[in-house]
Structure 1
Amino acid sequence: MKKLNLKYALIMLSTVLISSCSVNDDDGDEPQNSSISLNIDGLEDLGPDFLYEGWIIVDGAPVSTGTFSVNSNGDLSQTSFELDATTLASATKFVLSIEPNPDPSTDPADTKLFVGDFNGNSATLGTGTVAPSFDMIEGKFIVAAPTGTGAEDEKYSGIWFLDNSSGSAVNGLELPALEPGWKYEGWVVMDGIPVTTGTFTSVTGSDDASPFSGTNPGPPFPGEDFLVNAPDGLMFPTDIRGKVAVISIEPYPDNSTAPFVLKPLAGMIPADAMGVQEIGSNVSGSYPTGTVTR
């Protein structure tokens, strides 16, 4: 009887040890998560049809970190996201894109707003996915209404981004070529209402639309006359002197009829708007900034 009890005890001990090893092995196989945190200022509300989405680049391929929205105060709906620890540790870059909502694709859209290289566990974000650099930009324009009839009340009712100071018209904008997913757009802000002059990707040649211009041909540069089809709250022809001229960079497809947060050039149109005028850099005043940490 004693031998049988001893044999039974050894069997039970073996069962406990095997069971314990199995539990420990299962624990070791469980994936370990880590988090990535976003600290970004200056993003704007995209409305209900678009969301921001973060991506890490691992072995050259994008891995989504998750989507979030931004409210009218610039607050992110979520700032920390959990990911597989090994995958996150292997990431070399972070990218922030603008995605349609709902999104028909699992790949990043062309509208990539931010990129940053990881240096250790952090990455400083910049707009290198929009254009390589905005360090050397400048803008010039004239106030004129060449598409109209020449009536006196049309005299100050148009803006054209060109430089004719030499006697021949040349491009008035010095801007970098944009990456896919983005377009430039001109604006004049009249009594708090931004009115588009049209979108464009080249500083030479006409822009994409002329909804407010007259019937005569305009110069082959971005610009607009404000002569017809005035938006609600405005009357055309008008006098744009004392208003604000803006060049923005818009997502394409665009999330809004208002100017996007990226406004590389902006400035007041002088009251004495004779000859060629200049519009200054607004990069530091409008571009979002941020970092991510893992």
Structure 2
Amino acid sequence: MASIRLASHTKDLGDGFMVRRLLPALAARAVGPFVFFDHMGPTEFAPGLGLDVRPHPHIGLATVTYLFEGAITHRDSLGTVRDIRPGDVNWMVAGRGIVHSERSPQAERAAGHRLHGIQTWLALPLADEDTLPDFVHVPAESLPEIRATGVHLRVIAGDAFGQTSPVPVCTRTLYVAGEIDTAAHMEVPLEHEERAVYVVSGSLTADGEPLNPGDMLVLPPRPVRLRALEATRFMLVGGDALDLGPENTADHPRHMRWNFVSSRQERIEEAVQAWSRQDAAAFPPVPGETEFIPYP
């Protein structure tokens, strides 16, 4: 994949909660297994207010939530109830179908709080698209870290720089959170088939090309040197290119509609119909929740 520059576009998810969306984009539908990339916040919630993403379904993907600030309570149709806090990883495999909600914990909601993080979807390999749903929480202290002069990296999922995350990924994955001091530099080696760098805050150059907050650069197939123009927070994403079914091409490796990802349009239509009729066999309810997001 050649070097491609992606600019984020802003979306309001409701109640003024803003995200910067990078993937999918016309220029790059996916980077490795990553088919969806949202930078959420930073958003300041006044006391009594918070995030309220009502129960909604997924198929054919794994979701990863990674926070810089704040907390989210995850509930799902497996019966999971788990708070995620900065540095932790929530890895949810939708497979044949899962339903989940995301809300601000009661303590944070009562006190008022900031929320800032990254949410991504990884399309599952063809063999795993209809696997059983699953959920794994990995605490921050379990993630490998790499430190060098002026550089701090945390391997969120997959492998990078000789370290492997305990998150049980389904295909070769690159997902790293990085912080780099002013004028410090590092090399992104050619260890993965597809790679991209995203600037969360600050600014840096990639082989001399300047990147600012909200910019993502899909990297060319060679080692790339990053140099910080100021203290910068960034993400590295990528991995093996997605395997392709008979309905897919390299430019469109998966079909995506609403919260559903699949190699087959027919499978997505089945999921749409099942959710629309609230089929509990396909999409069991989330214990403790009475609301849901209708199919738009």
Short-chain TM bin: under 0.3
Per residue, is there more helix in 1 or in 2? 1
Q: Answer 1 or 2: higher relative contact order, Cα 8 Å, separation at least 6.
A: 2
- The structure whose residues are more often strand, as a share, is 2
Structure having the higher Rg: 1
Q: Name the TM-score, length of structure 1 as normaliser.
A: 0.25
